[in-house]
Amino acid sequence: MNCGMLATVEDGVVTKLVGDPEHPFNLGAQCPRGASALDHLNHPNRINYPLKQVGKRGAGQFKRVSWKEALDDIAARLAVLKEEYGAETIATTGGTNRTDDFARRRFFNLIGSPNVVHTAPVCWIPNFLTESASYGWAAFDPEIAGARCVVVWGHNPGSSYLPEMRGLLQAKANGTKIIVIDPIYSETASKAELWLPIKPGSDNALALAWLNVIINEGLFDYKFVAEWTVGFDELSDRVQEYTPEWAAEKTGISPELIAESARIYAMSKPACIQWGVATDQLGKGSTASAQARVALRIICGNLDVPGGDVMPGPHPTFVTDWEMELNEMLPEVQRNKQLGSEKFKLNSWPGYKLLTENMLRVWGKSIPAEWFCEANPSRVFRAMATGKPYPVKACIVLANNPLVSYANSKLVYKALKNLDLLVVMEYWMTPSAMLADYVLPVASWLERPVMTTTYGVSDWLIASERAIEPLYERKTDFDFWKELGYRMGQVEYWPWETDEDMFKYRLDPIDLGVDSYEEFVQYYRMHFADREYRKYQTRGGATLSGKIELKISLFEQLGYDPLPHYVERPFSPETKPEIAEQYPMTLVAGGGFMPFFHSEHKEITRIRLLRPYPRVTINPALAEKFKIEEGEWIWIETPTGKVKQTAFISPAVAPDVIQAERGWWFPEKEVTEPSLMGVFDSNINVCVDDDPDTCDELCGSFCSRGIMCRISKVEEDA
Ligand SMILES: Nc1nc2c(c(=O)[nH]1)N[C@H]1C(S)=C(S)[C@@H](COP(=O)(O)OP(=O)(O)OC[C@H]3O[C@@H](n4cnc5c(=O)[nH]c(N)nc54)[C@H](O)[C@@H]3O)O[C@H]1N2
Ligand SMILES: Nc1nc2c(c(=O)[nH]1)N[C@H]1C(S)=C(S)[C@@H](COP(=O)(O)OP(=O)(O)OC[C@H]3O[C@@H](n4cnc5c(=O)[nH]c(N)nc54)[C@H](O)[C@@H]3O)O[C@H]1N2
Ligand SMILES: [Mo]
């Protein structure tokens, strides 16, 4: 989370780590992950040398090899596969953004494959790209301290972004009103003035009804709308049918409360809406839901104003990720082969090309292709498993645990098993790494420099230095791409000796008078570009019309509905009446929780002791009905799969809703097949569907919030 830490190093050994009291994010504080970082660095389970699988995949027979042997063999095998099937047969998967930023994409553009995959569709993409299409960048930097009202929508910084939560509490102490929209009484909801316990997956309906109230009651910003936006009249016509009464039935919130909350938001100026990834994970309709919310912020005049939702734009001088990616090296014919791009057009080459044209006009730079222009995960896993529409034979997994992070884990398993070559760059022997031909040891944040601009899209950057050189034979992710690139004819494209040299190159245009990256870290550590507000006035909107678009022309260009509209959630008694009786409950399959980060840190005792077992929250009435006691194991079942977690009984969820934890596997269980450290026992993505028809229509995001399910007691001694 980019918290500042101070390491004490004695004779090349990190002996002490404390939170940096001067760092503006964490002000010296540490969460359990920070506090146990030395256990992470030195853990006996860490992978320290390259490993080659010499037995059957999943049997755990690994042999230590040299980096040279591993990389030579990987490069040779990739070359053969590329020759036989085309470069598109080589894919890569990543998880939440860590350090390799542009390097992965640079490597893939140079080998000619468009099949780069991340968990992006369920993490920020529908929201970010809808904003970008509507006004030319995302306004993801809310100025909470100056806001009179903050709407926290499908977001729980009380457990997922603690520095942000501190800001929220400070604002609240100064009189800012906080409205939380969440089906669960979360840490953040517990601090709110108003908590709207929405039915999972119905955010779209609520946002449309807010638009209806605000427009019909004349609570929007007339002057702003008239001067800077296009499409208001059509929007106004469109939302007439979405009355609070209509939405009440969908959301479970009374028409009065819907109207009242809409008025509070519209009448408190300036105000922010902070949205989290819950609304990216609604499946079909994730983008439609973003469309309605984006319109709210626009018509209320909160876009890019002090105390509102500020749109940073790219870092003006620093060499951005986009500039480092070399997207121009990927030929058009290869772009067209990107899996899923014929259906999910917003977050793949068709949409990215249009977005980039708009952005270049206004900013002179675009957003990176990494994260924002990718192949669709389900399509790629299906191609691996079935060879259709064409064979995907090799995959480099880096900073990702695909068996746990993507929907339909059993399909992902089939996919990975079926590959000719699987390479995993990891800290640990994860269930996914167990299936690899090569597992390569990666250096962690104490062993490498880190410089980030939030996925390459913020106008500020932060940097840190390495405390020590990588231990054992660990390498940085950047080194891995560079050295594999050398072997694949890319020598001239990787001119930097070290990570630091490369960062220095990117910093140079800022002209801070430093001679090295280390000096930059020592004297500055961060750089914030000068902020302008209301950039749509000075620069124009990075859209086709040059205005802020309530009717989004880029969506129209791609063949999608340009106006906010209602999409029924993909798993509901209305959409799937045939199974409604069998699966009467609603599952929320996710949400970040302390102390873990996704599927990580299960090995670290100090962390694991805080949460030894996976937990599913159920209402006391449901517990009573099924005679379930606190802590008992229960089955959670959907048509896709079945896993077990322990019951946590709490009225924080409604009687017909359950919330299961994500990310579970057990390093202490049987390592080899078929258990693979229990990866199918409690991992909720075994139950989450990836059927493309249930995924977001524009971005292909799977649905993890609001899935039809049932529960039962685990009777046997399982
Ligand atoms: N059902 C459901 N599914 C979800 C979500 C949900 O809420 N519900 N959330 C989604 C979201 S928002 C996201 S971002 C994804 C997260 O998906 P992932 O990012 O895949 O999740 P992690 O479990 O953190 O896996 C990252 C792996 O990379 C390794 N790793 C960590 N840092 C580095 C590094 O710097 N370099 C390398 N080479 N390896 C590293 C870790 O050891 C870990 O095994 O999951 C998504 N999946
Ligand atoms: N501790 C911890 N922190 C993390 C992470 C982690 O794994 N652990 N992961 C990091 C990553 S990669 C990301 S993307 C962020 C994500 O962090 P957030 O943006 O906060 O998103 P989530 O934690 O996935 O879910 C937020 C809230 O959405 C609610 N929710 C569930 N279903 C719905 C719904 O249908 N509608 C609405 N309105 N709300 C719903 C959940 O109850 C939860 O309280 O967290 C980051 N921070
Ligand atoms: Mo994420």
pLDDT tens column, 401-443: 999 999 999 999 999 999 999 999 999 999 999 999 999 999 9
Q: What is the tens place of the pLDDT at every residue in 78-92? A: 999 999 999 999 999
Q: Does residue 691 surpass a pLDDT of 60?
A: yes
At residue 715 the predicted structure's pLDDT band, cuts being 50, 70 and 90, is confident
Ligand 1 lined by 396 (C-beta under 6 Å): no
SS3 for 47? coil
Q: Quick: pLDDT tens for 262-285.
A: 999 999 999 999 999 999 999 999
Give CATH for domain 577-713: 2.40.40.20
C-alpha span between 237 and 255 (Å, rounded): 20
CB of 151 shorter than 6 A to ligand 2 = no
CA distances from 263 to 5, 153, 202, 239 (A): 42, 16, 20, 16
Instruction: Name 149's bridge partners.
Output: 177, 271
Asked if the model's pLDDT at residue 718 lies above 70, the reply is no
CB 601 within 8 A of CB 595: yes
Q: Is the CB of 597 under 6 A from ligand 2?
A: yes
Residue 531 is predicted with a pLDDT of 86
CB within 8 Å of 487: residues ≥ 6 apart: 71, 72, 75
How high does pLDDT run on average in the chain? 96
CA 195 to ligand 3 centroid distance, Å: 24
pLDDT, one tens digit per residue, over 451-472 is: 999 999 999 999 999 999 999 9
Two structure tokens written together for 613: 């077992």
Sign of CA dihedral 477, 367, 116, 286: positive
DSSP state of 442: B
Query: Of 71, 77, 108, nearest to 91 (Cα)?
Result: 108
Neighbours of 512 (CB within 10 A): 12
In short, whether 283's Cβ falls inside 6 Å of ligand 2 is: no
Return the percentage of the chain with pLDDT > 90, whole number. Answer: 96
Cα–Cα distance between 197 and 155 in angstroms, integer? Answer: 13
Grade residue 2 by pLDDT with cuts at 50, 70 and 90: confident
Q: Considering every ligand atom shown, identify the ligand nearest to the alpha carbon of residue 423 and give its number.
A: 1
- Stated as kind and residue range, the H or E segment containing 716 is none
Provide the 3-class DSSP secondary structure of residue 531.
coil
User: In this structure, which residue's CA is closest to atom 38 in ligand 1?
Assistant: 399
CA proximity to 187, closest of 207, 147, 160: 160
pTM to 2 decimal places = 0.98
What values do phi and psi take at 483, rounded to 5? -75, -30
405, 432, 701: which to mutate for ligand 1, most atoms within 8 A of CB?
405
Domain ranges of the chain: 5-42, 51-124+315-446+473-494, 139-310, 577-713
Integer Cα distance of 334 and 455 in angstroms? 24
∠ CA 368-346-102, nearest 5°, is 15
Q: What is the pLDDT of residues 653-690, one digit of tens each?
A: 999 999 999 999 999 999 999 999 999 999 999 999 99
Ligand 2 close to Cβ of residue 200 (< 6 A)? yes
Protein residues placing their CB within 5 Å of the ion ligand 3: 96, 123
Is 363:314 a contact under the CB 8 Å cutoff? yes
The residue whose C-alpha atom lies closest to atom 18 belonging to ligand 1 is 95
Flag whether pLDDT at 716 surpasses 80.
no
The fraction of the chain above a pLDDT of 70, given in percent, is 100
CA 313 to chain centre: 19
Mutate to test the pocket of ligand 2, among 277, 567, 653 (most ligand atoms within 8 A of CB): 277
In eight-state DSSP terms, residue 34 is H
Instruction: Give, for ligand 2, the residue of 30, 98, 124, 160 to mutate: max count of ligand atoms closer than 8 Å to Cβ.
Output: 160
Q: Is the pLDDT of residue 717 over 70?
A: no
What pLDDT sits at residue 696? 98
Ligand 1 contact via 41 beta carbon (within 6 Å): no
635 in helix, strand or coil? strand
Alpha-carbon distance values, 402 to 417, 430, 622, 686 (Å): 12, 10, 32, 12
CB-based contacts of 348: which residues, under 8 Å, 6+ apart? 338, 340, 341, 373, 374, 375, 376
- Residue owning the nearest CA to atom 7 of ligand 1: 590
pLDDT for 496 beyond 90? yes
Is residue 378 within 8 Å of residue 690, measured between CB atoms? yes
Phi and psi of 646, rounded to 5°? -95, 145
> Of 615, 638, 677, which Cα lies nearest the Cα of 401?
677
The Cα–Cα gap between 397 and 418 comes to: 15
Domain 139-310 grouped into CATH 3.40.228.10: yes
Query: At residue 131, what are phi and psi to the nearest 5 degrees?
Result: -60, -45
**CA-CA distance, 678 to 279, in Å (whole number)?**
29
**Cα 530 to ligand 3 centroid, rounded to whole Å:** 28
Task: Provide the pLDDT for residue 192.
Answer: 97
Q: Which CATH number does the domain 51-124+315-446+473-494 belong to among 3.40.50.740, 2.40.50.100, 3.90.1170.40, 3.40.50.720? A: 3.40.50.740
For tokens 């099924």, name the residue: 626
